[in-house]
Structure 1
Amino acid sequence: MKKIILSLMLLAVTIQAQDIYATFSVEADQSANLAFTSSGTVNSVSVDVATEVKKDEVLAQLQNSDLKAALNIATTALKYAKKDYDRQLKVKKLVDASRLDSFAFKYESAKAQVAYQQALLDKTILKAPFDGVIFEKIVEVGDVVSGQAIRTILRLQSLHKRKLILEFDQKYWKDIKVGQVFNYSIDGDNKKYSGKISKIYPFADSGNRKIRAEVEAKDFVVGLFGEGYIIVPDEK
């Protein structure tokens, strides 16, 4: 009889859920402060606040006509250095090794000079590092920027992808796991949302005794706040 009762008790096991309160703020999944690493005068800005951009799209340029001219000169020098080197290769059996090496050196130096001038030119062209939307513009045509005192001129964030940065009491550090459901609402929206924890930060804030976690989301305005409950299954 005791065995039967024990079996019935085991069959009666149910899974209860513990709700753990958490607040959160909305952040972009990706964001970047964009700046020139070269000095000069801003010649063009092709974006504004709320402009959607694609990765590698040109956002702004410094005046760079001098660098373009220098690159053209270096490219021309490379063209003729290669011709000279190719001629020497055709008759290398008739010339001494040191003469051939001198032409090879000129050719390699010309290639390096083209790469160097291209790198200088690239520093005057600001491109988008990822697909996104401009959410702050701090530059106008004619502004002077310095590579020695770098300052942000554009701010870029992912277009749709967001992450909720949750904060919950550190006493639950053993209970919260990646994959657990987070039911929440956000300020100014009566709709109820649900997501799953994708990341848990490996430290507790010593100031407020909170631990952070992340939940993936989409299309919320960055900077909004909200609250909800993490559902922690509890087997008994």
Structure 2
Amino acid sequence: MKKIFIALITLVSLSYAQKVYATFDVAAQKSANLAFTASGIVKKVNVDIGSVVSQNQILAKLGNKDIKAMLEKTQIVFKFASRELKRQEKIKKLIDASKYDKILSNYENAKASVAYQQALYEKTILKAPFAGVIYDKSIEVGDAVSGLMLKTVFKIQSIHARKLILEFDQKYHGIVKVGQTFEYKIDGDSKTYTGVISKVYPYANFDNRKIKAEVEAKDFTVGLFGDGMILVDGK
């Protein structure tokens, strides 16, 4: 019985024969700096710092009456060009080929003009690229923005999804793998948490000779830090 007990202890100790120390910072799983790519005067700002937004929600708009008017004009031209093309397609065999080609060309040009004006119009509207929370804002109604000199006006990050950016000594580059367990503590928190390595960066930092890895987490405040142990499979 004693031998069996010793064998079990040995088997357990071999399962995690080595632990690799790592420090980490908490980062948002998704984050982005948002800016207008068009020039104009800010007409409307719909969110503030701390606002929770959904994907494609409108965050701010530039004054765009002139661009909207031009878009509507091109849409009208396109509508009549479409009607004319449909009429001519019915009698295509009865008309001169060059005349039909000209009508088709007018249709295609009108279609391209609508697409171009639509793109210009959309650049005056800033939308959230994903569901998240606004954590920085540097824009107010009346501000002038320039598409030639991009300036971040909002910073957005995922609401709950976080990632721990681990750093460990490069000498362990061959044994730390995706799927291994990471036991850790957040600085100032006595609770021990457990996560799984989801990514190992394929390079070492030239300055500190550290390698990075990532562990998925939830709801920690971005910017916190801590440390822990990577449980390396000893098999």
TM-score with structure 1 setting the length: 0.92
- Bigger CA drift: 86-95 or 160-169? 86-95
The aligned length equals: 227
Residue 178 (str. 1) matches residue 178 (str. 2): yes
Residue 45 (str. 1) matches residue 45 (str. 2): yes
| Rounded Cα–Cα distance in structure 2 between residues aligned with 1:102 and 1:42 | 42
C-alpha deviation, 1:10, in angstroms = 9.0
Alignment of 1:1-236 (within 5 A): 14=11, 15=14, 16-235=16-235
Residue aligning to 2:3: none
Counterpart residue identity of residue 125, structure 1? I
| Rounded Cα–Cα distance in structure 1 between residues aligned with 2:8 and 2:121 | 73
Alignment RMSD, CA only? 1.6
| Rounded Cα–Cα distance in structure 1 between residues aligned with 2:208 and 2:9 | 41
Find the residue that maps to 2:93 and give its secondary structure: coil
| Rounded Cα–Cα distance in structure 2 between residues aligned with 1:127 and 1:197 | 33
Percent of aligned pairs sharing the same letter: 56
| Rounded Cα–Cα distance in structure 1 between residues aligned with 2:185 and 2:8 | 36
Find the residue that maps to 1:168 and give its secondary structure: strand
C-alpha deviation, 1:64, in angstroms = 0.3
Counterpart residue identity of residue 141, structure 2? V
Find the residue that maps to 1:130 and give its secondary structure: coil
Name segments (4+ residues, structure 1) moved above 4 Å.
Answer: 9-13
Q: Deviations over 1:156-201 (max 9, x none)?
A: 1111100000011111112211111111110222211010111111
| Rounded Cα–Cα distance in structure 1 between residues aligned with 2:9 and 2:42 | 73
Counterpart residue identity of residue 161, structure 2? K
Find the residue that maps to 1:189 and give its secondary structure: coil
Q: Deviations over 1:22-41 (max 9, x none)?
A: 10000000100000111111
Counterpart residue identity of residue 202, structure 2? P
Find the residue that maps to 1:178 and give its secondary structure: coil
Note closer, same or farther for the CA distance 1:11–1:130 as it changes in structure 2 (3 Å cut): closer
Note closer, same or farther for the CA distance 1:171–1:79 as it changes in structure 2 (3 Å cut): same
Note closer, same or farther for the CA distance 1:180–1:107 as it changes in structure 2 (3 Å cut): same
Find the residue that maps to 1:93 and give its secondary structure: helix
| Rounded Cα–Cα distance in structure 2 between residues aligned with 1:11 and 1:159 | 44
| Rounded Cα–Cα distance in structure 2 between residues aligned with 1:91 and 1:173 | 73
C-alpha deviation, 1:120, in angstroms = 0.4
C-alpha deviation, 1:17, in angstroms = 3.0
TM-score with structure 2 setting the length: 0.92
Counterpart residue identity of residue 218, structure 1? K
Q: Considering fraction of residues, name the structure with more strand.
A: 1
Note closer, same or farther for the CA distance 1:12–1:183 as it changes in structure 2 (3 Å cut): closer
C-alpha deviation, 1:11, in angstroms = 9.0
| Rounded Cα–Cα distance in structure 1 between residues aligned with 2:10 and 2:191 | 34
